[in-house]
Chains A and B, each alone.
Chain A
């Protein structure tokens, strides 16, 4: 079994996710990019778990999926509220924390 294939896949997904987070201005797309990153991690977890013949990897992956679901839930709710208030989900406009 070639772990490297999974690792490369995960790395590509991760890079796409990072790119999405940093560049996309649409809040929903950023959330989706976060999902991509989390799933790339999941792939790694499962792959290395299988390699080392341990169940821990799958358990962690399941755990991450649960957390990711919750995260998306909260995230989407925030985005929805932002949309309600501002009629836009453009992240570049949201700089209330500017120092």
Chain B
């Protein structure tokens, strides 16, 4: 079994949904039941595959890549088909394969207009392939391909099944992200040409192998070039996160997207950006990352405050939740900007927690909209009276989202604040401690807008226009099935955060401390890091010429 998983596990995991999509496409449109069944089966099979991989995953070696496959792919540009799973990818892969089946279950009874389950569900499956692929790819070109595969299904989902303003939102989403990825691709190419694979023990000089690139192949690149390459990646990943000021696509996309689209967007798609930082930008270009970190941290805390202020100005519940994503991803980015294993580990946890909590909030917003036909908070009210269970779930998720200890959100938020008290040695303590205080203020604002939303939507008595509406019923069976796993996980992770840390902590340590090498790590912890990196580059350049 282990041997089989080693050879085929990740490939099957990635392409199983795609195969499901192909099968769905051959089923006649009329046969809705079969289409839904096949989709669910495909996503469940993927989840089962992921469970198998988890079962054979060695937690003791969570820091190193497992199930690695490495085959030649595009020889002309030395791009290889490399996949692998480590403790950073694992939680995110699991999150993805969990959320997608739940979305499918939810779609059974809540398919947005203009229906067409065949197209909708096949897009969902293709999306899953893209997302899982991004998290397991270990070659920059492969990563890029999967990264882009995600884009198109989402575009169609928003553009076809979205709200009134869907075309605008869809195009905005598409162009924004494409713009980012274009710059990102340039950065990848620059790495290909400038990095020296032989420094990391490869045969080839030019390589897209992510493992080699994060293990020292980039040390000989001149500082200025590194800064520019990092800037390109920063834009590519930053748009996806989204970091202030590249966030304006997000509220529109979320508001217009169908419920399932919003859930996937919040739960997984945003994480592609932060994952890119953790997996690619930081380990490959630690020096440039250290130079950019204060800027990233600043934008992150601006995002925290700014997103919260944006929330306070909203009338539309879904838009409010969308803006809250900006704030929460700000905490994740703050953790990453500290450049410590502590902070990055917090970021990984924050990604999963935000995925679960905000995904859940979007589910709820979708269901509220279905019942009230509006999300205008000045018209809502009394949800607790009309649909008590749903009201409590909303309250629960609001509490989770505002970072209540004992629920998942806290473990992304507090450790990020904690980490920014003590960033990597190369970074200024004063600057990051100021960020810490600002971020802590952000937690108050978060409580402000979430409780305000709760008061508007859930408390009070229902308005007359909805008082006797027959549409308003409590949580249905299908909604329970789709939501229960997420709710349980929010509590479980909140009480026992080690569920994720056990995998992510060694992996973060490995990628930040071990893989980059003692010298690089030493420079990161050195107050005169710039000089230190300069020396390191000189010695690398010498080695590079010798070989």
Contact between A and B in the complex (any CB pair below 8 Å):
no
Name B's A-contacting residues (CB within 8 A). Answer: none
